[in-house]
Amino acid sequence: MKNVVVVGSQWGDEGKGKIVDWLSSKADVVVRFQGGHNAGHTLVIDGVTYKLRLLPSGIVRKNKISIIGNGVVVDPWALLDEIKEIKSKGVIVDENNLILSESANLILPFHKEMDEIREDAAGNAKIGTTRRGIGPAYEDKIGRRSIRVMDLVSESNLDHRLETVLIHHNAIRKGLGKQIYKKEQLKKDLLKIAPEILKFSQPVWKKIDEYKAKGKKILFEGAQGILLDVDHGTYPFVTSSNTVAATAATGSGCGPNTINYVLGITKAYTTRVGEGPFPTELKDKIGELLGNRGKEFGTVTSRKRRCGWFDGVLVRQTIKISGIDGIALTKLDVLDELEEIKMSIAYELNGKKIDYLPAAVDDQLKVKPIYKTFKGWKSSTKGIKDFEKLPDNAKLYIKELEKFIETKISSISTSPERSDTILIESPF
């Protein structure tokens, strides 16, 4: 038995949806352990497209248990809307196949407003958030003033908790010249949906322990990518949670010995949404070609992604930080039309060659990539399922990539279709 954690090894949008869907077909339990509804997965199953934001990918499959862990921040209205949307496509969602941690923290309307207020006030210094209240909700969690799922059980407790959190938020709102937030209507709105939310609520740590004892295969599903990790990413242009594989343990309530294999989803080139450093970014026709061929628009926000060459330095770094055992290389077919392909193998900073991305954002913005150039293969790889049938130049690029990042490639994706995958090693 193996329990597998799936994380993005770049800035997110690596194509986790397809890989997680394939793995969830083999797993018994699928767990979301961090993030919120700011990042999404697109799944296509039997011609039906599902766009998931909070719900784990296992929800679209029969006889799977889906869990939203304590490390996730949950907009309760967004969750209910997503459940309604997924049900309209014939998917069963009930308390038998969906579990929500009683300890999960809630995203409330004033979190979203605070997100918008800050981004608008920041001007050119904005982070590029999705404006969904993720960051402010995590701040309240760390500040020990947030509303959790369990707080919906008692009206008197909810009233007290709202009083506490709004003292903080209203002081900031007043200082910024914004109207203070009144709690009464919000309390009514929360109590109205409380029964619909609480029916999914359980102690997730206990359920996972039960599933482990029964030998169930558990898939831990990460959101975003390691380069957006609040500790290890391109700070401050990061998300508000830890996105590394180790968070699967803390974000669900199980020990690190629960994790047997870490799979890093890795795009054959690089993309980034929002602001922040991006050493290999291409602001030219090649960058446009990658974006168009790769359909690089966000699942949740539809924002256009910035595109660039594969950054081997960054991926090697995230592999070491997150303990990645193998990578699933995605979107190889997007490179099919290129005459030549480049991979960053080092950086130059202030005239010196370095082999890692420094922590200071000023240095991250100044580094210049040092490239190794490969001949393109100028032929279609779309739908190929056998490594030996790939063009010779594609095989060379993949082997050199694998050698440089010092981690084996476990699979190669050659189209958005789940079946169009070269499987080298299965995590399960």
Q: What six digits make up the tokens of 388?
A: 């030996």
Within 10 angstroms of residue 10's Cβ, the number of other Cβ atoms is: 24
Closest by Cα among 40, 10, 101, 35 to 241: 35
Instruction: Please confirm, yes or no, whether 37 is among the known catalytic residues.
Output: no
Q: Which of 37, 41, 111, 169 is catalytic?
A: 41
Active-site pick, 13, 21, 140, 229: 13
- Judge whether 160 counts as a catalytic residue: no
What is d(CA 59, CA 249) in angstroms, rounded to the nearest whole number? 21
Q: How far is CA 396 from CA 23, 98, 191, 338, 403, in A?
A: 27, 44, 59, 15, 11
CA distances from 397 to 310, 370, 373, 390 (A): 11, 16, 9, 11
Backbone angles phi, psi at 322, to 5 degrees: -100, 0
What's the CA gap between 13 and 272, in Å, rounded? Answer: 8
Contacts of 176 (CB under 8 A, 6+ apart): 117, 121
The DSSP string of 369-380 is EEEEEEE---S-
Residues tagged active-site: 13, 41
